[in-house]
Chains A and B, each alone.
Chain A
Amino acid sequence: MMLSGWGRYPRIDTKLSAPRNIEALRKKVLKGYAIARGNGRSYGDSAISAQNTIHMKHFNRMLAFDTQHGQLVAEAGVLLADIISTFLPRGWFPFVTPGTKFVTLGGMIAADVHGKNHHKDGSFAQYVDWIEILTCEGEIQRCSLNENLELFEWTLGGMGLTGIVIRAAIRLRPINSAWIKQSTLVAKNISQTIELFEQSHDASYSVAWIDCLQHGKSLGRSLVMLGEHAEAESIPLEHKKQPLQLPFKRKLRIPIKFPSWALNSLSVRAFNAFYYWNGKRNHQKKLVDLDSYFFPLDTIIGWNKIYGRRGFAQFQCVLPIKNSNDGLRALLSATANAGAGSFLAVLKRLGTQKSRFSFPMEGYTLALDFPINRKTLALMEQLDRITVQHGGHFYLAKDSRMSRKIFQKSEPRASDYLSYRTDQVSSKVFESAQSKRLGL
Chain B
Amino acid sequence: MNNILILGAHSDIAIAVAHRFAEAGYQIQLAARNINNLAADKSDIELRHQVNVTLHEFDALDTTSHSYFVEQLTILPNITVCAVGYMGVQAENEREIKEASLVIRSNYEGPVSILSVLANCFEARGCGCLVGISSVAGERGRASNYVYGSAKAGFTAFLSGLRNRLAKKGVHVVTVLPGFVTTKMTEGMDLPKKLTAQPKEVANAIFNAVQKKQNIIYTRPVWRFIMIIIRNIPEQIFKRLKL
Contacts and interface: CB of A to CB of B under 8 A. Distances in A.
A63 B44 contact: yes
A330 to B, nearest CB: 47
Nearest to A75: B40
Contacts of B229: none
A75 B41 CA distance: 11
B40 A86 contact: no
B95 interface: no
A61 B44 contact: yes
A417 B9 CA distance: 44
A62 interface: yes
Interface centre among A61, A62, A63, A75 (most CB of B within 10 A): A61
A160 to B, nearest CB: 22
Nearest to B48: A86
B184 A62 contact: no
Interface residues of B, number: 8
Contact of B47 (A21, A60, A65): A65
Interface in A65-112: 65, 75, 82, 86
Contacts of B41: 61
Contacts of A60: 44
Contacts of B44: 60-63
Best-surrounded residue of B41, B47, B184 (most CB of chain A within 10 A):
B47
B interface: dominant SS: helix
Interface in A146-172: none
Given A82-B48, A86-B48, A64 B43 contact: yes
Nearest to A73: B43
Contact of A64 (B47, B48, B184): B47
A20 interface: yes
Contacts of A65: 47
A63 B48 contact: no
Interface string B37-68: 10011011001100000000000000000000
Given A82-B48, A86-B48, A63 B184 contact: no
Nearest to B41: A61
Interface string A5-28: 000000000000000110000000
A86 B47 contact: yes
Contacts of A21: 37
Contacts of B40: 61, 63, 75
Interface in B1-55: 37, 40-41, 43-44, 47-48
Interface in B177-226: 184
Interface string A272-286: 000000000000000
Contacts of B48: 62, 82, 86
Nearest to B43: A63
Nearest to A85: B48
B57 to A, nearest CB: 19
Nearest to A64: B43
Nearest to B188: A17
Nearest to A60: B44
Contacts of A63: 40, 43-44, 47
A61 B40 CA distance: 6
Contacts of A62: 43-44, 47-48
A20 B47 contact: no
Contacts of B47: 62-65, 86
5 contacts: A61-B44, A62-B43, A62-B48, A82-B48, A86-B48
Interface of A: 20-21, 60-65, 75, 82, 86
10 closest A-B pairs (Cβ-Cβ)?
A61-B44, A61-B40, A62-B47, A63-B43, A86-B48, A62-B44, A65-B47, A63-B40, A64-B43, A61-B41
